Structure formats: structure tokens, C-alpha cells
Amino acid sequence: MSNMEFKNAIHGENIQKKFSGFELNIPDFRVPEGLATALIGENGAGKSTLLNILAGVRMDYKGRINFFEEENGAFNGMGQNTRGNVDPFLPETEALRERIGFTSPNDYFLPEWTVKQVREASKLLFSNFDENKFDQIIVDLDIPVDKVGKKWKKVSQLSDGNRMKLEMATVLARDTDILILDEPASPLDPLMRDKLCEIIRDYMDVKPGKRSVFFSTHNIADMENVTDYVIIMDKGSVLETGFTEELKEKYIMVRGNADNADQLKQYLIGAHKSSQGIEGLALATDRSNVELLNAVCEVPNLTEISVSLMKQHSNIK
């Protein structure tokens, strides 16, 4: 499947947001429908800013965003839809928000809220929130909800990992068409990260080819097995996009000995040179050139691809 063949769950055009010393500038990006897409980048790359724009948390941006390739799913910056209206509570805006689930690691709930109040707020905010389903997910994810008897725990009393699980419970208890998850794996332990991958697949399997997941991460290793499509960001710009398997065909991981290091370096992206030799990413089209220099070529994983591409643009020496 090529970039031209999929239907878009999200299509952004000329997305711009300026801060002091930072600018998000993305001429075009697409999130495929029916797949899990990873937004990869180091801290400060602009991932959270982009996801906050998509989720409607930030309205102060320039550009145009379209959800599900629908006329009523298109919005410009400053919260405007394509007819120039600025009211975020328009019926079509509300209908769109019902179809989107969003989680964020940054003070998503008020700390003094109890888990019960989180449930009640979700019920008020979203007509498609199923409180019985929410209660079951609380049990399934082993989220501690009370201290003694019927005393509900406050959000501030939960660990970072359990707060993220609570956020997941609120969005999974709704009938949505896309999940936008900002660093969902970051506060989770290894077991729960594995469970998160299972949750993502189960979510999409409810409506095969229709439900989508767009999640950000600065460490793709634990999420690679659930990632279908990749968007790699650095310093507010997109470096690379593509289906996971296509990227693994586009690039090769090269390892060579010290004697040929200087010659190999010209072909490598994000090269690391030591007394033992040299390694780095290269285009698959350069395979014959590096093999002539006695280098070993391997299929890269997503971590090697993303780190090498980011290293090429990084200020870290």
C-alpha cells in the first residue's frame, strides 16, 4: 500500500504554530484510516503541540485540518470550520468531538477530582460515554479506585501510570472512531505497555478498517509491534513518513569495520564511529556500495530508523 492509496483519518495542511524559540511548521501530513500511526520524535520536537491542535486543546494555530475526509470535519486555525464560524460548540463540532478520544500526560483531570467525579464528568461531556463499560475497564486495568470501603480515591492519589490508565478508561468507554494519545506508554510499566498494544489492536478490531489510533512517543521500541504507519518529527518539522514495512525496505542498517569507516561514512545517516568500527543507517539503494566495503547490512527496526534520522538533525554532539 503506497501513500496515495489510503483513506485519511486526519489530513493536515500548512499547520503552523510559533512559540518563542520554536516553530511548528508542517506543510502536509496524513494519518491513515483503520491503522495505528506512531508520531515519533525526541522531547521538544513538537509532538504534543501537534496533538493538542488535533484534539482541539489548542485553537491558536494556522492551517487546515480535516477529519475522516468529511465536509463537516474540516477546520482552520483559531477554531474556525471551513465556513468561517468560530463557535467551538457548533453541532458539527460537537459531533466531531464525540468521534475523537484524546489522552494527555499533562494534568488531564483536576487533581482534587475523585475517580467517581471523573466518571460523572465524562458522562456529562460525552453522550456516547458508557459508565458501565467504564466501571468494567477500571476493574480490567486494575486501577485502584478507593482507599477504604466506599471512599473514592482522588486523581492526585494515583500514580502516573494509574492516571494514564484512568484516562484510557474514559476514552475506551466511549464509541469513538479515532484515539489521539499523547505519550500513552511513557508512565506505564513494561507489563502495561504490552497491554496497551493489545488495547490498541482490540479497539481497532471492533470496526476493522474504520477505527484509527494516532499516538506519540519518544521511544518506539515497546510499541513497534502495534505500529502500522510512522511519522518522524524533529524541531517542529516532519522528517519522514511511511508504512513500517516500507521504511524497513527503504533503509538498511550498516555495520562496518574501522579500516573502511571513512569510506562508509559518506553513505551513512546518523553514523556512530568508534575504534571498533562504524554503524549507521543507509538507503537500501546504496547496499551494493557499502557491501563492496565489506559492511554488514541488516533490516533496521523502527528505533534504529528514527534515532538515526533524528541524530542527523540533532544539536546533541
Residues 295-312 pLDDT 10s:
999 999 999 999 999 988
Is 162 buried (19+), middle (13-18) or exposed (0-12) by CB count in 10 A?
buried
Query: What is the C-alpha radius of gyration for the chain, rounded to an integer number of angstroms?
Result: 22
Helices (H), the chain: 47-54, 91-98, 115-125, 131-140, 160-172, 190-206, 244-250, 261-265, 287-291, 302-313
Question: Is the full-model pTM beyond 0.85?
Answer: yes
pLDDT at 84: 45
What is the distance between the alpha carbons of residues 103 and 167, in angstroms, rounded to a whole number? 6
Task: Give the pLDDT confidence of 117-170 residue by residue, as tens digits.
Answer: 999 999 999 999 999 999 999 999 999 887 555 678 899 999 999 999 999 999
Q: Furthest-apart CA pair in the chain: how many Å?
A: 71
| Torsion angle in degrees (nearest 10) through CA of 267, 273, 278, 281 | -50
- Burial state string for 47-68 with b = 16 or more CB within 10 A and e = fewer than 16: bbbbbbbbbbebeebebebbbb
- The CATH 3.40.50.300 domain(s) of the chain lie at 8-99+176-235
pLDDT at 150: 65
User: Residues in the chain with pLDDT < 50?
Assistant: 1-3, 82-89
Residue of 92, 95, 68 lying closest to 80 (CA atoms): 92
Neighbouring C-alpha atoms within 13 Å toward the C-beta of 180: 22
3 state DSSP class of 250: helix
Pairing of strands 36-40, 212-217: parallel
Q: Domain 8-99+176-235: which CATH class?
A: alpha beta
3 state DSSP class of 225: helix
Name 38's bridge partners: 215, 230
